[in-house]
Amino acid sequence: MKQRNIDCKYAEKLISGYINKKLSLEDKNLLINHIRKCKSCKEELTIQYLVFEGFSDAGESKNYNLINRLEDELKAAEQMLEEKQRRNMFLGCCGVLVLCFIMFVVFVLLV
């Protein structure tokens, strides 16, 4: 999968998409890559997430749990992406093998 770098403005759009659970896996990938490097967007995502999931001044531990949950969600998304990449690589290898096999068969038939 190609890694595209996005700017903070685009990341902001993805953040609201993420909060509303409307992001595709590819968009999630872009967002996660960005917030791993960009602290202010990570903060923005955390704040929006807290607000959306019921941020309250009263419940410190609740907020803490929510931040952990967000972290877990992001990690899960990353793992899903890694798995998908691995699967794509595997399928790519299979494709090459099949192609070699076909070429081999054609070669044998021709000779």
Is 33 or 62 the residue whose CB approaches Zn ion more closely?
33
77 near Zn ion (CB under 5 A)? no
Shortest spacing between CB 6 and Zn ion, in angstroms: 8
Q: 111 to each of 99, 104, 106, 108, how far by Cα in Å?
A: 18, 11, 9, 5
14 near Zn ion (CB under 5 A)? no
- Binding segment for Zn ion (CB under 5 A), chosen from 24-32, 34-42, 59-67, 100-108, is 34-42
CA distance 22 to 13: 11
Contact, 101 vs 14, CB < 8 A?
no
**Binding interface with Zn ion (CB under 5 A):** 8, 11, 38, 41
